[in-house]
Amino acid sequence: MRQKGTDRIIALVETYEIAVALKRELLVNQLSAWIVIITIALMVFVSLLSMGRRIGELTHHQAQSEQRRRKIARANMKVSETNNSYLRRIESALQHGPVQNVTLALLKLDPVSWALCDAKGAIHLVLFSAWRT
C-alpha cells in the first residue's frame, strides 16, 4: 500500500480471491482440448488399423499371384518340353523312316510327272489343231 500523495510504501497487503468461474472455465477448456486430442488419436488409430488390414490383403493377393505365376511358368516349361520331345520324334521318323523313302520316290517321279504333262499337253495341242481344221 502506498501513502497518499507520495510513492512511499507504508504496508504490504495480501488478498485472496475465490475464482470458481475461472477454475471452471479452465477445466472446461482442458477437457475440450483432451477430447479433441483423443478423437484425433482414435481416428489415426482406426486409419492405421484399416491400412494394416489392406496391406495384409494386398500381401496375400501378391503371394497368390506369385504362386499362380510360378505354376503357369512350370506348365509352360512342361508344354515346351513335350513339344520338343514330339519334334525330336518326328525328326527321327523323317530321317530314318518310310517318309524318307516316300520323299525319295517323289523326287524320282518328278521328272516322269513333267514328261507326262508335256505329253498330255502335246496330245491336247494336236487334238485342238485337228478339231479347228
Q: What is the pLDDT of residues 73-100, one digit of tens each?
A: 999 999 989 988 888 877 776 666 666 6
Q: Under a CB-based contact definition with an 8 Å cutoff, are residues 93 and 99 in contact?
A: yes
The pLDDT of residue 74 is: 93
Q: Under a CB-based contact definition with an 8 Å cutoff, are residues 1 and 10 in contact?
A: yes
Three-class SS state of 19: coil
The grid cell for 50 is 484399416
pTM of the model: 0.41
Q: Under a CB-based contact definition with an 8 Å cutoff, are residues 12 and 1 in contact?
A: yes
The grid cell for 122 is 502335246
- Residue ranges in the chain modelled with pLDDT below 50: none
Q: Under a CB-based contact definition with an 8 Å cutoff, are residues 2 and 9 in contact?
A: yes
pLDDT tens for residues 97-106? Answer: 666 666 666 6
